[in-house]
Structure 1
Amino acid sequence: MQKENLPKIVYIGWTEPSDASGATLALMRHLFADNLWDVLVITDKPYKGVGKESQWINVKRSWLHHRLSRTRFRRLIAQYEMVVEPYFIAAKIRDVVSSFQPDVIFSVPDNTLSWVAKLVSSRLNIPLISNFQDWWPRGQFYSQNEAPYLPIRSILEERLRHIYKHSRIAFCTSEGFRNFLGDHPCAPILYPCPGKQTSLRPSIKYVENKEPINLIYAGTTVRYYGQKLLSLAKVVADREDIIFHIYGGKPDWSIQDIKWAEDVGIYKGFVKHEVVKQHIMNAHIGLIVMTSAPELEVMMRTSFTTKFLEYTQLAKPVIVWGPAYCEPVRVARLTMSGLVNDTEDPKSVLSSLEIFRDQSILKQYSDNAWELANNTFDSEKIQHIFSNNIYKLIQNTQ
């Protein structure tokens, strides 16, 4: 299909299509992997080579905004950015969106730019599509200066529910998310899109004789997740029968703890997706971390980690360390693709790994993971859900 004949999508959101994280990678695959769409991106992140630079608009803050964001008023400025600024941004980009003549406007709901998407959609009468991945008003913020105050959080939550109702298609990243948001005429489950699945099954990596169990974690390393990872690292460090590697951005641990984790070979830093994939292939088990912190219960009940899909693509059993109510636990138990540990005790996590020394058990979990990767988590099926629903909407509105 020629570029000029492709359906046109304006993407407006905080989460940018890039290779920076699991969420941004999934978005990049949906929008750019198969050359299905002509996409205009509007985000607060700079262009880094995804799509056409001429069709990437970087929403920039004023110099005063940046300056105040580095003062003791920075949390107040963040509240303004979440509540008031979307109206100014919507007015600023309205003509650009209109001139692009999109078939649909698409957004991943967040605390700022997704409301811009809703405003522009309403004002230009262009169908809105949303992809609910995280409940950001109650999110896990790198800094508390980014978090909304309670009254602001209520406003943001009401906005997200309004986006859900206004969306012609409201993709939900899990069944838990759809249950949380309630009835909708078109709310398909859309798991985070992994890379293309290989048809050749990776060989099973068994734990041989007295070989150490190789456990790997790749993902978020800050706040509650980071503290759980650090507690696990502390108890692993003295063990010779378990190897534990953490891949991800810089943790918010103390300088001493980061240096210690690097020195003992546990924290490996951030590396590109393809490099992490090679390390996952060399591991026996993939770790998924969720949290039982009460303030993040909604997020745990609704969100779904991309790494679950990527572990299963390599036929790796997983261990989900998190509360019983979180979505990855539900899926792991339903599909028998991994173990679940819903305690807060890192020693208990290590003890539960011993079951994988039994090759028949490891094979069973590996087989189930591979089955999941080729069915529910299959990248082509996930992309088909995304593209087919959008094509139908465009056809019905022309």
Structure 2
Amino acid sequence: MTLYSDTILKSTDKAKNDQKLNICIITHCYPPDFGAAPHQYEHMAKSFQKEGHYVSVITSHPYYPSGKLKKEDRYKFISETNENGITVRRHWLLPSQKNNSLLRLISMMTMLMSMLFSLPYLKRNKIDLIICQTPPISLPFLAILAKKRYNIPIILNVSDLWPQAMVDINHLKKSSFTYKLLHKVEKYFYKKADHIVTQSIESQEYIQQLGFQKPQIYRIGADIDTFKPSDKDLNEKRYKMVYMGVLGVAHGLSQLINQIPFDRLGIDFHIYGNGIDLPKIKHIIKEKGLNSIQVFEPILYQKVPQVLQEYDFAFISQINYVRGTLPAKLFESLSMGLPIIFHGDGEGAKIVKENDCGWVSNPNAPEELVINLKEITQSNRNVLIKKGQNARTLCTQHFDRDQQFTNLMKTVYQNFTTKS
């Protein structure tokens, strides 16, 4: 097996610095928001806390991915809670449920304007280090302003490449004024960051090609002790495939459900999630009377491993290739020992193909997906077992969430624990 290796920081014999930092994480999503990203930041916050550091989170009121605020949050500008010793400051924003770049930009700006009111908090609590997510492209302005005013260093966590992502999904042209402006803003962020982390090799190479420091790879990864394989009933006649996550336009599930004859393939396809594509998915299922496809409400993150155990393989779809994007659900499925049906391109497809842990199809060729699904139903189940074993091995060796944090923590100890 060819393992897809990350750039891992070399361990040193240097003992951990006893100095405790006051760390603030700035992100647009945090539990109870749905998805892997909010839980990555929760894991980061709890892990720093376990190391003995003081941790706070500046985020928005829960809205992701439905694009709606709860009724009790609509007129609440700022709320502050203590969640197991972690201070969480939630801010108002004007959420956007539409697949519209302008509306999303307005939403990002309202979030920033609200979060600016936490500047005094950063000063008052003598924050030593800010870890800031981008996108949203607005959030780093808060971190940079805090750096200018209070000399607080910044670790910039680049989860997606903006505005390149908007070009990849055909919402912007590189020749447009908007792209050129946003690209200048993007490079400004990289310049002001004291350290950059990102989730994929593609993003790492992109940022480095722009002339900036080589980012550290920090994967979302998976909790390999929680997401672990279980014994399955190999005598079941029908295969069960699961999609779990955000239902966005870039994932294209409604389009695939309209194209792929799932009922005739002998595969039960279960979808757990929410997003702007959900109404269209439900409409197509009802209109065509599709019996093999069922849609379920998002489930609590703590219940995800238990639900995934019920399935034979996981489905990941990216009909629009977005450079640098690596689906977070990939890691948890790998950790569960689930073979992957990857309908897409880029780094995720490369991981699945090179490590023989599933099947890959071209997002512009749905007939390839049909061929793969037919191959699965006609194959011996031992083929799935072997690919599942490969998936689990890959995740435990390279995508363990705790190891990802350990590498980040080494960087913090080496670069941000010495006071001037």
TM-score by length of 1: 0.80
Could you list the per-position Cα deviations for residues 24-54 of structure 1 after superposition, in whole angstroms to 9, with x for gaps in the alignment? 1111111125623322222222569773698
Using the alignment, how far apart are the partners of 1:174 and 1:112 within structure 2?
Answer: 22
Distance, in Å, in 1 between the alignment partners of 2:387 and 2:260 is 25
Match of 1:244 in 2: 269
Which of 8, 22, 42 lines up with 1:28 in the alignment? Answer: 42
Q: How many residues align?
A: 372
Equivalent residue in structure 2 for 1:119, among 140, 145, 168: 145
Q: Name the stretch that deviates more: 382-391 or 75-84.
A: 75-84
Write the distance in 1 (CA, Å) between the matches of 2:366 and 2:333.
Answer: 21
- 2:284 aligned partner, one-letter code: D
Distance 2:212 2:400 in 1: 25
Alignment partner of 1:100 is 2:129: no
**Aligned counterpart, 1:14:** 28
Distance in structure 2 (CA, Å) of the matches to 1:377 and 1:77: 35
Contact 1:27 1:193 in 2 (8 A): no
Show the counterpart of 2:55: 39
Matching of residue 197 in structure 1 with residue 225 in structure 2: yes
1:137 alignment partner in structure 2: 163
1:276 CA displacement: 3.0
Counterpart of 1:215, as a letter, is: M
Deviations along 1:199-258, whole A, 9 cap, x unmatched? Answer: 9x624647548x122111111212131x33542366344226211111111553336336
Structure 1 residue 120, shift from structure 2 partner: 1.6
How much does 1:167 deviate? 1.8
Q: Tell me whether 1:376 sits opposite 2:406 in the alignment.
A: no
Q: CA distance change for structure 1 residues 237 and 137 in 2, over 3 Å: closer, same or farther?
A: same
- How much has 1:374 moved relative to structure 2? 0.9
Deviation at 1:181, TM superposition (A): 0.9
Determine which of 389, 394, 407 is the counterpart of 1:385: 407
> 1:124: how far off?
1.7
Alpha-carbon deviations, 1:323-375, whole Å to 9, x = none?
3xx11012112222221111434443132134442234223211210111111
- Partners in 2 of 1:18 and 1:187 — Cα distance? 29
1:262/1:268 contact within 8 Å kept: no
Whether 1:337 and 2:357 are equivalent positions in the alignment is yes
* Match runs of 1:138-217 below 5 Å: 138-139=164-165, 151-182=177-208, 184-185=212-213, 187-197=215-225, 202-203=229-230, 205=232, 208=235, 211-217=237-243
CA change 1:22–1:229 in 2 (3 A) is farther
Unpaired runs of at least 5, structure 1: none
**1:205 to 1:107, Cα distance in 2 relative to 1, 3 A:** same
Deviation at 1:84, TM superposition (A): 9.3
Equivalent residue of 2:216, what SS? coil
1:58 aligned partner: 90
Give the Cα separation in 2 of the matches to 1:76 and 1:362.
44
The change in CA–CA distance for 1:236 and 1:396 in structure 2 (over 3 A counts) is farther
- Aligned-residue Cα RMSD (Å) equals 3.7
Provide closer, same or farther for how the CA distance between residues 92 and 251 of structure 1 changes in structure 2, counting only shifts above 3 A: closer
Question: Aligned equivalents of 1:268 and 1:242: distance in 2?
Answer: 17
Match of 2:304 in 1: 276
Equivalent residue letter for 1:391: Y
Report if aligned partners of 2:47, 2:405 keep a CA contact under 8 Å in 1.
Answer: no
Secondary structure of the corresponding residue to residue 144 of structure 2? helix
Contact 1:39 1:51 in 2 (8 A): no
Question: For the Cα contact (< 8 Å) 1:317–1:362, is it kept in 2?
Answer: yes
Structure 1 pair 242–116 and aligned structure 2 pair: CA distance change class (3 A) = same
State the shift of 1:81 in Å.
6.0
Whole-angstrom CA distance in 1 between matches of 2:406 and 2:319: 32
Aligned-partner residue type, residue 352 of structure 2:
A
Deviation at 1:397, TM superposition (A): 4.5
Look up the match of 2:71: none
Q: Helix, strand or coil: the match of 1:291?
A: coil
Partners of 1:338 and 1:377 in 2: how far apart? 17
SS of the aligned residue for 1:222 comes to coil
